[in-house]
Chains A and B, each alone.
Chain A
Amino acid sequence: MADPAKLELLNRSTDAGGFEVIRIDSLRAYSAYKPSRLPQSDWEVTAQPKSADGTRQFVLRNLRQDSYVLLNSREYFLWNYLDGRHSLEEIGRAFHLAFGAFDYLLIRQLLTKLYGCGLLESKRLLDFQLNRGTLPDRRQGSGLRRNLLRWRAMSLRVPNADRVCSLIYERGGFLLFHPFTFWLCLAAALCALVLALPFGQNASSFAYFLKTRPWLFSGVMVASLVSASILHVLVHALACKAHGRRVRELGFFLLQGIVPTFYADVTDIFMSSRRARITVDMAGPMVEVVLGSVAILAAQAASAGLAQALLLGIGLALWESALLNLYPFNFLEMDGYNILADLTAMPMLRQQALALIPRLYEQGLNFKRLARAEWLQLAYLALCLISVFIYVILHIDGLRALIRL
């Protein structure tokens, strides 16, 4: 690391009438720096449930910028001192008294987080921070890499998503979250499940019907899945509104830069309870469950033939989609993953798990030093790897057919 930058000031206000030169290095100034957070009216904080290692995390929301940041309990302790009246040296002392040790790196990382989220009072720095996005980024490197980044960032958004969702919610959307609706959906799903079982005996005849009209079958299937996907994210958004929180965005993007996906940005649900978050996560897949059940019930009512085969195919595809959504161990941040992250009170589980591997490698694969939360992260990674492996094995025939095509 470079030596601390030095600044020399010439102070003329001496009694003798001359001047004195004062040298201040940046580290000295840093310890005297009194960071000041935004006024209380501009942010809100919510305590999260205790995580596996017994610590509690906090979500801070910047109401000016509508940005969120996750703080651990130590960072939250420091946050409470960032009132513009305490220098970093004083804060460090208070931290030392409370926790027995203090590392300035901790506060440096916290300040970086808070600057990034615009939670510290410093207009000029914030302007710089905001304008940073418009500057050419040298790290982007080659044209190919730049295009890949652009591709990954590609998205389409519904303007005024929150207002649109509020309107839909007020004009009938609220009915979806009535207990009666839930029990009705559950009953429909159970009926469909019971009725779907005997269909297994006629699987070959359904396959025969579908093979006769492959383009029709593919078209109907894609249209059904896309429509269900749109409804899925809309219901997520409505569930967020049902808990009185804001929908930041509603739109379309490439999940992990690959999978075309509709999405609803419901980050504001972090400011609500864990139960509310799990409700929002569950609400989306319920759409596929209900629509799939309706399709299977309709297949049951239809006479044998192409229409019945199509309805059954759609029903099963939607159920599979719901299952995939609810399965947490696939490296993707889908609904099941979000539920897992909420249950373990580790909102950044995937990122932390992926960051753990290089760290573990640097520590010489010393597993003895791992904390309980880190074991959970490792378990998540292992289950993801196993699940992906099993998924590939189960679909190997399909993959072979694709390669042959």
Chain B
Amino acid sequence: MELVSEFLKKVSFCQDLNESARSKLAELLISKKISAGAIIFREFDESDCLYIVRSGRIIISKHVQHQVDIVLTRFHPGDCFGEMGLFDTSPRSASAQTETDSVLLRLDRKAFQQIFSDEPEIAARICYRLVTVFIERLRATNDQAREAIRWGLEATGFSVAPEHAPLGRRST
């Protein structure tokens, strides 16, 4: 398997980092192998780290009812998830589970804070890229909300278009 610092070239929020910055970041990452079907974290769990998918496929879902979640998105190698955990102490907003055997790289909040204090320039570059990640995800969420509403309307035959004239009689 290629070196972690080399792999980080493919990670969106590391695009602006040079080789030495990537090496420094790679030292802070913890690699973890997870088998298919395992839960990485659950919705409402404590949130304190970000994950980078090195291999495999991750499903992000949100609980709907009983044992059923709605699938929000999938992450593939080079993608990162759980980034809110780097900045925010609120619980996880969704659950993450592996769809296939996967290898993840974990960046703890403490480690990230260490970058901020020791290497503010690297931290700034990472933050700038993370903002673009947030923006993309926000756009994707908007599209997803629209699709969910379209699904509901199509599945129930509900239409907001006034396609018929109501029956009425105004005697004049």
Contact = CB atoms under 8 A, between A and B. Distances in A.
The CB with the most chain B CB atoms within 10 A, among A10, A264, A280, is that of A10
B70 interface: yes
Interface stretch (A29-37, A175-183, A219-227, A378-386): A29-37
A12 B68 contact: yes
B164 A113 contact: yes
Contact of A116 (B66, B67, B70, B164): B164
Nearest to A27: B154
Interface in B118-134: none
The CB with the most chain B CB atoms within 10 A, among A107, A111, A112, is that of A112
B148 interface: yes
Nearest to B61: A10
Determine the interface band of chain B, counting residues with CB < 8 A from chain A.
35 or more
B167 A13 contact: no
Interface stretch (A187-195, A196-204, A312-320, A332-340): A332-340
B40 interface: no
A21 B59 contact: yes
Contacts of A21: 59, 71, 99
B67 A12 contact: yes
Contact of B171 (A9, A16, A26, A335): A335
A123 interface: no
Interface stretch (B2-10, B12-20, B155-163): B155-163
Given A11-B67, A13-B66, A255-B172, A125 B167 contact: no
Contact of B164 (A10, A112, A269): A112
A284 B171 CA distance: 8
Contacts of B64: 9
A40 to B, nearest CB: 20
A5 interface: yes
Interface stretch (A62-70, A296-304, A357-365, A396-404): A62-70
Nearest to A57: B167
A333 B170 contact: yes
Contacts of B71: 8-10, 21
B169 A266 contact: yes
Nearest to A347: B167
A9 B172 contact: no
B37 A18 contact: yes
Contact of B167 (A69, A108, A264): A69
Contacts of A5: 147-148, 150-151, 154
Contacts of A281: 171
Contacts of A128: 160
Contacts of A322: none
B69 interface: yes
A122 to B, nearest CB: 7
A267 B169 contact: yes
B76 to A, nearest CB: 15
Contacts of A17: 37
B36 interface: yes
Interface string A249-286: 10001010000011111110110000000001100100
A59 interface: yes
Given A35-B156, A68-B167, A333-B170, A26 B70 contact: no
A2 B147 CA distance: 11
B40 to A, nearest CB: 13
Nearest to B38: A18
A109 interface: yes
A109 B71 CA distance: 31
Contacts of B1: none
A117 interface: yes
B62 to A, nearest CB: 9
A255 B170 CA distance: 10
20 contacts: A5-B150, A10-B97, A11-B68, A12-B67, A16-B37, A21-B71, A26-B155, A27-B154, A69-B164, A88-B157, A109-B164, A113-B163, A113-B164, A115-B158, A116-B162, A122-B158, A265-B171, A266-B171, A348-B167, A351-B165
Q: Which 10 A-B pairs have the closest CB atoms?
A: A18-B37, A26-B154, A8-B71, A29-B155, A111-B157, A5-B151, A13-B67, A236-B171, A10-B69, A68-B167
